[in-house]
């Protein structure tokens, strides 16, 4: 049976709510008038749900009490209040409530809100458990799987440096391929770990200068390959809102992709800009490189999916999956348009004030 704690300083209202709850089969642990008592009883009884009025007797209000209860005990709190002004709602949102009902409310709405809060709490608990398992798996990957790779690469290097003269040319070639494969696997492990961290990393939204970031990335790429002649054009004044670290990773992957896939293109060209679609600004990274078949555009964001051979264009197929997860975490979208041999354009949005 679902246990509910009611925090309401008007005794008649509290009893009315308790009666409604009992009619739906809930067990009412107690009805309390203050936030201080709510914190204490919540710690002792650990109810499944707490119904909390915002304006309470005592030194702290319902929002402050809910914030402490959520932080200490992770119990879902639903606000039941007669106040629906902007300031109160803004304060309530900061406490991360699992529901907000304005009095007077219908009995059925109370039931639906409680059930939705319980389901959300269950899903969040499962997600937290899954993240703990993912952390454990990431640690295992980082340490347990890398150890044999380091041994393979290390002993192969010893053989290559100390005994190459005793081996025929095809034996030396085999050692070289072993070391290359070990290094490729190590890079793949690192990319998977980075993809995992991107999915769970906290987000801090700031206003960012996309034009400047893109210019810095392309300048770094040009410095690393001074023999390449790539013309690039970056639209001035491109700004968007996002997490600085995650967005830099996304742009490095997108622009790095354009740089890589124009390697075999004469008069290589990369463009970074934006277009308006209604009220939405859509950014893009465009190149005139190898491109890919348009019918396979839905595959390029799947981890390990590659549309070109590793020999032709080295890589492991994790970069674009990482970009998609970063964009999705900001509440945006990303998609691509391309034709084989005619370059590719990646479009993406970063809605202002979003992110989770």
Q: How far apart are CA 219 and CA 222, in angstroms?
A: 5
Tokens 């246990």 appear where?
A: 3
What is the model's pLDDT at position 355?
Answer: 47
What is the model's pLDDT at position 214?
Answer: 94
What is the model's pLDDT at position 356?
Answer: 47
Q: Which two tokens stand for residue 58?
A: 């005592």
pTM of the model: 0.55
Tokens 């390029």 appear where?
A: 300
If one compares 250 and 354, the residue with the highest pLDDT of the two is 250
Residues with Cβ within 8 Å of 256's Cβ and at least 6 positions away in sequence, in order, are: 217, 221, 319
If one compares 185 and 265, the residue with the highest pLDDT of the two is 265
Q: For the segment 281-330, what is each residue's pLDDT rounded down to a tens digit?
A: 999 999 998 888 777 777 778 776 666 555 666 666 678 888 888 898 88
Residue 170's pLDDT band (cuts 50, 70, 90): confident
Contact criterion met (CB below 8 Å) for 58 and 36: yes
Ranges 24-38, 99-113, 304-318: which has the least confidence: 304-318
If one compares 96 and 200, the residue with the highest pLDDT of the two is 96
pLDDT surpasses 70 at 135: no
Average pLDDT over residues 162-175: 86
What is the model's pLDDT at position 297?
Answer: 72
Tokens 């969040």 appear where?
A: 124
pLDDT surpasses 90 at 217: yes
Q: How far apart are CA 36 and CA 227, in angstroms?
A: 69
Contact criterion met (CB below 8 Å) for 86 and 114: no
What is the model's pLDDT at position 215?
Answer: 94
What is the model's pLDDT at position 313?
Answer: 61
93-107, 140-154, 183-197, 261-275, range with greatest mean pLDDT = 261-275
CA-only gyration radius of the chain, Å: 28
What is the model's pLDDT at position 29?
Answer: 93
Average pLDDT over residues 258-285: 90
What is the model's pLDDT at position 201?
Answer: 67
What is the model's pLDDT at position 305?
Answer: 65
Q: Which two tokens stand for residue 130?
A: 């899954």
Average pLDDT over residues 83-111: 84
Contact criterion met (CB below 8 Å) for 82 and 54: no
Average pLDDT over residues 235-249: 90
Q: Which two tokens stand for residue 4?
A: 């509910």
pLDDT surpasses 60 at 34: yes
Residue 134's pLDDT band (cuts 50, 70, 90): low
Contact criterion met (CB below 8 Å) for 153 and 190: no
Average pLDDT over residues 204-223: 92
Q: For the segment 57-73, what is each residue's pLDDT rounded down to a tens digit?
A: 889 999 999 999 988 88
Cα angle at 23 between 20 and 27, to 5 degrees? Answer: 85
Report the 3 state secondary structure along the chain.
Answer: CCEEEEECCCHHHHHHHHHHHHHCCCEEEEEECEHHHHHHHHHHHCCCEEEECCCCECCCCHHHHHHHHHHHHCCCEEEEECCCCHHHHHHHHHCCCCEEEECCCCHHHHHHHHHHHHHHHHHHHHHHHHHHHHHHHHHHHHHHHHHHHHHHHHHHHHHHHHHHHHCCHHHHHHHHHHHHHHHHHHHHHHHHHHHHHHHHCCCCCEEEEHHHHHHHHHHHHHHHCCCCCEEEEECCCCEEEECHHHHHHHHHHHHHHHHHHCCCCCCEEEEEEEEEECCEEEEEEEECCCCCCHHHHHHCCCCCCCCCCCCCCCCCCCHHHHHHHHHHHCCCCEEEEECCCCCEEEEECCCCCCCC
Q: CA separation (Å) from 254 to 124, 248, 324?
A: 32, 10, 10
pLDDT surpasses 80 at 47: yes
Q: How far apart are CA 88 and CA 111, in angstroms?
A: 23
Sign of CA dihedral 35, 99, 5, 32: positive
Q: Which two tokens stand for residue 199?
A: 């999915």
Residue 231's pLDDT band (cuts 50, 70, 90): very high
Q: Is 184 exposed, middle or buried (0-12, 13-18, 19+ CB in 10 A)?
A: middle
If one compares 143 and 256, the residue with the highest pLDDT of the two is 256
Average model confidence (pLDDT) across the chain = 85
What is the model's pLDDT at position 141?
Answer: 64
How many CA within 13 A on the CB side of residue 259?
Answer: 21
Sign of CA dihedral 312, 317, 322, 323: positive
């Amino acid at each position: 049976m679902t246990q509910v704690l009611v925090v309401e300083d008007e005794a008649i209202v509290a009893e009315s709510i308790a009666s409604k709850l009992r009619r739906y089969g809930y067990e009412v642990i107690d009805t309390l008038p203050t936030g201080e008592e709510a914190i204490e009883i919540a710690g002792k009884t650990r109810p499944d749900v707490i119904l909390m009025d915002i304006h309470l007797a005592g030194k702290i209000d319902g929002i402050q009490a809910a914030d402490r209860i959520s932080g200490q005990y992770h119990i879902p709190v639903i606000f039941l209040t007669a106040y629906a002004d902007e300031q109160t709602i803004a304060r309530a949102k900061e406490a991360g409530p699992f529901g907000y009902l304005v009095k007077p409310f219908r009995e059925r709405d109370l039931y639906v809100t409680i059930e939705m809060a319980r389901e959300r709490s269950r899903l969040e608990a499962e997600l937290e458990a899954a993240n703990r398992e993912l952390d454990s798996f990431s640690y295992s990957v980082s340490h347990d799987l890398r150890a044999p790779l380091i041994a393979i690469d290390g002993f192969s290097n010893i053989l290559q440096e100390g005994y190459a003269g005793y081996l025929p040319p095809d034996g030396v070639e085999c050692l070289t391929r072993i070391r290359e494969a070990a290094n490729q696997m190590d890079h793949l492990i690192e990319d998977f770990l980075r993809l995992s961290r991107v999915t769970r990393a906290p987000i801090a939204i700031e206003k960012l200068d996309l034009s400047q970031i893109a210019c810095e990335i392309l300048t770094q790429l040009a410095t690393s390959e001074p023999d390449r002649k790539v013309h690039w054009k970056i639209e001035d004044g491109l700004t968007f809102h996002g997490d600085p670290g995650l967005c830099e990773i996304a742009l490095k992957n997108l622009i790095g992709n354009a740089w890589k896939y124009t390697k075999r293109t004469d008069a290589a060209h990369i463009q970074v800009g934006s277009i308006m679609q209604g009220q939405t600004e859509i950014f893009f990274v465009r190149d005139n490189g190898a491109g890919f078949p348009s019918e396979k555009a839905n595959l390029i964001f799947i981890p390990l999916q590659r549309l070109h051979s590793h020999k032709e264009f080295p890589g492991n197929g994790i970069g674009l999956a990482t970009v998609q997860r970063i964009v999705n975490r900001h509440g945006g979208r990303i998609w691509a348009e391309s034709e084989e041999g005619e370059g590719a354009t990646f479009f993406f949005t970063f809605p202002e004030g979003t992110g989770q």
